[in-house]
Structure 1
């Protein structure tokens, strides 16, 4: 049975790095909402609100129905998007796993936010001030939490793989 790995976390926590590494480890489809949203802006000139997420859900469903594992990479900061990701898996006859990435060391997190480059062409990365002000709700359901503070991406992905039992 296919599985949807649903990532969440604030910008700069290492979420996209770990999502991409997990996708590579599993040979899974990788859907990054930032890429979808920036494509809609660049190609269609759209102002984007939830359209990127909605497209990601549909693409995830297409892949899950084909029996392919999918890694969904987004901030996923509110209960509504989390429920939609889960419902996408359920409606596609797949399992899902919620994964939350955090960086508990505020100094390290700030340095990451302020020093990173975007792998998504034209994507304007958020400032530390906007990351701190971002709406982000605690999880109300089962989630695998990975704290990347003081850890290399290699150690963090190994920790996640162990926690997932894969």
Structure 2
């Protein structure tokens, strides 16, 4: 691996699994650039006549912003989104590879359905105007099985801070550098 290359870290998973919490902890510890698709999509909705479902526009902006950051020399870009489809996973990978970056794909899960439901039913958002999904909407959401193996972090087994440390070690390994 080449430690001089940048890294695109794509953190995905169903709503309520802990993606944003882990992403914030990782970014705070590493200084990585942070792209959050919920923020991009809600900004589009707040500033235009667009409505949910937006289709691919938020993700397309995310891919372009990630590639631009990596090409401009940003060492690490963390993109956080549900990333539910093979087509979105491939597009993130293509954006990173085309930018000369190592791509680290991460799936955040909560293996305890009772805890996952509790989180969904009791959470709030820091994005003005964002409507959070119900437990039923999370259950009904289209979410394709992976066709390659991502790094899996289980927030039913580890705290967000522990997951951020595990993620950092995986990024370091992928970049061929010693863990901090």
TM bin, normalised by shorter chain, reads over 0.9
Give SS of 1:83's match. helix
Q: Does 1:59 align with 2:65?
A: yes
The aligned residue for residue 117 of structure 1 is 124
Aligned length: 166
Instruction: Check whether the contact 1:23–1:70 (CA below 8 A) recurs between aligned residues.
Output: no
TM-score by length of 1: 0.95
**Residue 105 (structure 1) aligns with:** 112
Alignment of 1:22-41 (within 5 A): 22-41=26-45
Q: Distance in 2 between matches of 1:95 and 1:67?
A: 13
- 1:43 to partner: Cα distance: 0.3
Q: Tell me, which stretches of 5 or more residues in structure 1 are unaligned?
A: none
- Indicate how the Cα distance of structure 1 residues 93 and 150 shifts in structure 2: closer, same or farther if over 3 A, else same: closer
Q: TM-score, normalised by structure 2?
A: 0.88
- RMSD over aligned Cα, in angstroms? 1.2
Per-residue deviation at 1:159?
Answer: 2.8
Give me the whole-angstrom Cα distance separating, in 1, the residues matched to 2:66 and 2:171. 20
For structure 2, which runs of at least 5 residues remain unmatched after alignment? 173-178
